[in-house]
Amino acid sequence: MSAPSCSPPEEELLEGESAEASLDLDISRRTFVKAATILSAGAATGIPRIATAEDARLAAASEPKTISITLRINGKSEPLTLDTRTTLLDALREHLELTGSKKGCDHGQCGACTVLIDGRRVNRCLTLAAVADGAEITTIEGLAQGDSLSPMQAAFLEHDAFQCGYCTPGQICSATALLEEQKHGALSTVSFETGNLSNPQLTDDEIRERMSGNICRCAAYPNIVAAVRAVERANA
């Protein structure tokens, strides 16, 4: 009588191995056929071309292009080499440490980043630095003359036209340009609504409308209007 064996008989082993081998072969054959089908379908439908374009796009995105420009800021020339996608806001804050004006929304909605370019107010979060190459840029840091505040800065202080101050540099730049625009006869929606189309007076409604691109989350609006009105009357 022979003792029961724990191991499968040799033929079973061989059968099992050959079944595994055949399974492997089957999987390999199926994998091969599937891969070949995908590749041939890709060749027929143009998928490889799309993949190539996508690769090129990714490569372009990962290899930023740079540009050399000279920004004229507060009377000084500042040569810079920047990624072409750099906004004026980031160029001034991150590369030149001019952090007076602020990044609020970064979407052109709050006015915290306002500066003057050739005397006109601009949201610099929406302006590429390259576009300002060679233009005269005035930031809040450039409004004062040494230790003397500009009239608008002094009026904001005098009329307590801020609380946290985050929006204030943008408000002051905007208000400074507003007075120049009004001097040159620029009109607002209020001018059209009131019919004052010939050199409209800077009423409180006009000031509110013309400053509406600058949001103040502390709601210092009445005092901002008072500050702007005070400078306008002092200039009259």
Tell me the CA distances in angstroms from 169 to 127, 143, 163, 182, 188, one per residue in order. 18, 10, 12, 20, 23
Q: Among residues 41 and 219, whose Cβ is nearest to ligand FES?
A: 219
Q: What is the DSSP letter of 123?
A: E
Stretch that binds ligand FES, among 60-68, 109-117, 173-181, 192-200 (CB under 6 A): 109-117
Q: Among residues 130 and 173, whose Cβ is nearest to ligand FES?
A: 173
Of these, 13, 53, 58, 105, which contacts ligand FES (CB under 6 A)?
105
Q: Among residues 73 and 162, whose Cβ is nearest to ligand FES?
A: 162
Q: How many CB atoms lie within 10 A of CB 204?
A: 13
* Residue in the structure block whose two tokens are 């005397």: 119
Tell me the CA distances in angstroms from 120 to 76, 116, 130, one per residue in order. 18, 5, 17
Should residue 120 be labelled a site residue for ligand FES when binding is judged by CB under 6 A? Answer: no
Stretch that binds ligand FES, among 3-11, 104-112, 179-187, 195-203 (CB under 6 A): 104-112
Q: What is the DSSP letter of 167?
A: S
* Residue in the structure block whose two tokens are 């007075």: 179
Should residue 157 be labelled a site residue for ligand FES when binding is judged by CB under 6 A? Answer: no
How open is the CA angle 174-150-220, to the nearest 5 degrees? 50
* Residue in the structure block whose two tokens are 């071309």: 49
Q: Among residues 71 and 113, whose Cβ is nearest to ligand FES?
A: 113
Should residue 122 be labelled a site residue for ligand FES when binding is judged by CB under 6 A? Answer: no
Q: Among residues 40 and 109, whose Cβ is nearest to ligand FES?
A: 109
Should residue 220 be labelled a site residue for ligand FES when binding is judged by CB under 6 A? Answer: yes
Which uninterrupted H or E stretch holds 171?
Answer: helix 168-183
Nearest CA-CA partner of 130 in 95, 96, 88: 88
Should residue 218 be labelled a site residue for ligand FES when binding is judged by CB under 6 A? Answer: yes
Stretch that binds ligand FES, among 66-74, 110-118, 127-135, 202-210 (CB under 6 A): 110-118
* Residue in the structure block whose two tokens are 């979060």: 125
At residue 85, φ and ψ (nearest 5 deg) are -90, 0
Of these, 165, 186, 199, 201, which contacts ligand FES (CB under 6 A)?
165
Of these, 92, 129, 137, 167, which contacts ligand FES (CB under 6 A)?
167
Residues that bind ligand FES (CB under 6 A): 103-106, 108-113, 123, 125, 162-168, 216-218, 220
